[in-house]
Amino acid sequence: MDRKLTVGFVGLGNMGWPMARNLARAGHRLVVRDADAGRQQRFAAEHGCAAADAPAAFESADAVITMLPTGRIVREVMLDWGLAAALRRRTVAVDMSSSDPAGTQALARELAGRDVALVDAPVSGGVPRAEAGTLSIMVGADNVAAIDSVRPLLEVMGKKLFLTGRSGSGHAVKALNNFVAAAGYTAAAEALIVGRKFGLDPALLVDVLNASTGRNFSTEFSFKEHVLTGKYATGFALGLLTKDIAIAADLAKAIGIEAPVCALLKEHWAETCAKMGGTVDHTAAIRHWAEVNGVAAPDAA
């Protein structure tokens, strides 16, 4: 489809900035909003789009995308700030944040009362794939026609689109994916800490994992690119991953599923986040775990 849309974009963080930039480069007309007014103005100036200082700036939008830290903040923007009230009937709201599935379903019902459809479309792939426009996007909605109307936007930002089902299902899949990713990271980190204590070279151990059955995304990317180098700069904060694990664990509990690994990881990462703070990169968690065990972090000489 060649039709260019007017798109509201709320949230210009590490992920939101390149995602919105790709939409602007594709020729869509953007109206942008960020809690950081300076960042909002810089984006608008660099990409020739409008900056929104009030909800009324989104009145002409065909679709509004939110890329925010939590579902609670999405709800506040939509209902408390007044974004939903400013939208025209049959506008599509696309929440690409990592939000709680139950909260997404509740918001979808409230927006439907205003004749605004909500599509949950969280992403995976991190900043590099956001930059490249090759994210994996998990898409849920009760209104299938709404998905079709925003598909041209999603295809600019993502390479793989997965239709996950009803409203909230995209956010459920995202949380479960990040739980699995966290499990892989945690296992690899523990292996490196045990190996370091035993006298093994962390880099050698990572190479063995990547050539063997222990290979996963964290060993191939996080440990090679960020842990062993000491960069710790994937752009995905510890607090955000901790939140996603909690969403997965809470979902399991809410529907009566015993998920002991998920529950343990929720506790483990929450304790780590409390000690290190939520703004550090999630890959830095191994530094805390190594310190607790009296072992040098893998990036230490």
Q: Determine, yes or no, domain membership for 234.
A: yes
Q: Are 36 and 152 in the same domain?
A: yes
Q: Are 26 and 137 in the same domain?
A: yes
Specify which residues 125 forms β-bridges with.
none
Q: What is the pLDDT of residue 184?
A: 98
Q: What is the mean pLDDT of residues 19-36?
A: 97
- From 167, 198, 218, the end of a domain falls on 167
- If one counts every other C-beta atom within 10 angstroms of the C-beta of residue 108, the result is 23
Can you give the CATH number for the domain in which 219 is found?
1.10.1040.10
- From 167, 185, 200, the end of a domain falls on 167
Q: Are 101 and 196 in the same domain?
A: no
Q: What domain range is 23 assigned to? A: 6-167
Q: Determine, yes or no, domain membership for 300.
A: no
Q: Are 250 and 163 in the same domain?
A: no
Q: What is the pLDDT of residue 3?
A: 80
pLDDT tens string 106-132: 999 999 999 999 999 999 999 999 999
- From 143, 167, 191, the end of a domain falls on 167
Q: Find the helix or strand (DSSP H, E) in which 8 lies.
A: strand 6-10
Query: 191: Cβ–Cβ under 8 A, 6 or more apart, which residues?
Result: 205, 209, 214
Count up the domains in the chain and report the number. 2
Query: 300: Cβ–Cβ under 8 A, 6 or more apart, which residues?
Result: none
Can you give the CATH number for the domain in which 154 is found?
3.40.50.720
Q: Are 134 and 70 in the same domain?
A: yes
* Residues carrying an active site annotation: 174
Share of the chain above pLDDT 70, in %: 99
